[in-house]
Amino acid sequence: MGRNDCELESLVVEIINKHVNDLGEGAVKTRPSGKGNFVSVTVIVKAHSREQLDNIYLELTACEEVLMAL
């Protein structure tokens, strides 16, 4: 999740693509907050290891535009 004033979806997809070979169709969904100040980006991936998930999480949380990662 991040502020709705940047290209968060593109940024998140770029980060995830470094760790996942192929995002399937419909793997990325965005949803604005009630007041439109924030946007959530949901990405569905098929993970092959805990290490892969950990690396995705570490890179997402290191990104200043990402305010929260679950």
Q: What is the pLDDT of residue 6?
A: 77
**Structural domain tally of the chain?**
1
Q: What is the pLDDT of residue 5?
A: 81
pTM: 0.86
Over the chain (70 residues), the average pLDDT of each successive run of 10 is: 90 94 90 95 94 96 94
Q: What is the pLDDT of residue 22?
A: 84
* DSSP one-letter string for 3-69: ETTS-HHHHHHHHHHTT-S-PPTT-EEEEE-TTSSEEEEEE----S-HHHHHHHHHHHHHSTT----
Q: Considering the domain boundaries, does residue 69 fall inside one? A: no
Q: Considering the domain boundaries, does residue 36 fall inside one? A: yes
Q: What is the pLDDT of residue 51?
A: 97
Q: Considering the domain boundaries, does residue 11 fall inside one? A: yes
